[in-house]
Amino acid sequence: DIVMTQSPDSLAVSLGERATINCKSSQSVFSSVNNKNSLAWYQQKPGQPPKLLIYWASTRESGVPDRFSGSGSGTDFTLTISNLQTEDVAVYYCQQHYTTRLTFGGGTKVEIK
Amino acid sequence: EVQLVESGGGLVQPGGSLRLSCSASGFTFTTYTMHWIRQAPGKGLEYVSAIHSNGINTYYADSVKGRFTISRDNSKNTLYLQMSSLRTEDSAVYYCVKVAVLDSYWYFDLWGRGTLVTVSS
């Protein structure tokens, strides 16, 4: 199975500042079939199910604020939250869908400093 | 309203069985691969199982293979997960989840609120 490793486990960021979350896969999730990276990002707030933020590594889901952005390719990916807001306090997960044996990262908890 | 509503969770003893259901509405259920994903209390997300829109092709995590069976009734817009030989490590919130793009590309744009399964004596 592809192992997804997120870092850091948690981070505290001041309001209005930038939060950066990293996700590394144990093998490339780039598909030469469609020239896309099969990597998604989710946000999970306490007591709620996860919510899709980003797919294909950098495509923002409809309705997601543009302060959320995804980047990276191959095995290394980043979720950036610019201008952090109080409503962004949550746990963030990456997920690969390159294979049918789906795997998630362990999660990164984002808090306000 | 587009939604998924799970039911059937509860407390069960180790070795017991339970059947989860997920009622779908607001979208064409019959054209999407559907999944179950679980989350143990305070832990991360773990893929459990998936079923193609045709109800024939199924997929399982190694941790549940041979113990869990996924199925769907497209006439009732309902997804099921039959769980048997339950272990304490199966305790989790079980989410019913819809893929974003028909039967392709397994990232998820719709999640239910989940149903809690507790395996304990």
Q: What is the DSSP letter of A61?
A: P
pLDDT band, very low/low/confident/very high, at A28 (cuts 50, 70, 90): very high
Nearest partner of A31 among A11, A50, A56, A9, judged by Cα:
A56
Mutant choice from A102, A103, A108, A109 vs B, greatest count of B C-beta within 10 A = A102
Q: What is the DSSP letter of B64?
A: T
Whether residue B102 is predicted with pLDDT greater than 90 in this model: the reply is no
| CB contact A55 to B (< 8 Å) | yes
Q: CB-side exposure of A90: number of CA atoms within 13 Å?
A: 21
| CB contact A97 to B (< 8 Å) | yes
| CB contact A93 to B (< 8 Å) | yes
Cβ separation A61–B109 shorter than 8 A: yes
State residue A105's pLDDT score. Answer: 98
Contact between residue B79 and residue B90 where contact means Cβ atoms under 8 Å apart: no
Taking the C-alpha atoms of residue A83 and residue A55, their distance in angstroms, rounded to an integer, is 21
Q: Which amino acid is at A76?
A: D
Taking the C-alpha atoms of residue B116 and residue B95, their distance in angstroms, rounded to an integer, is 9
| CB contact B27 to A (< 8 Å) | no
pLDDT band, very low/low/confident/very high, at A101 (cuts 50, 70, 90): very high
| CB contact B102 to A (< 8 Å) | no
State residue B105's pLDDT score. Answer: 83
Average pLDDT estimate for A89-102: 96
pLDDT band, very low/low/confident/very high, at A83 (cuts 50, 70, 90): very high
State residue B6's pLDDT score. Answer: 98
Taking the C-alpha atoms of residue A23 and residue B80, their distance in angstroms, rounded to an integer, is 32
pLDDT digits over B44-94, tens only? 999 999 999 999 999 999 999 999 999 999 999 999 999 999 999 999 999
Residue carrying the six token digits 């995804």: A70
pLDDT digits over B1-44, tens only? 999 999 999 999 999 999 999 999 999 999 999 999 999 999 99
B105: closest chain A residue by CA: A97
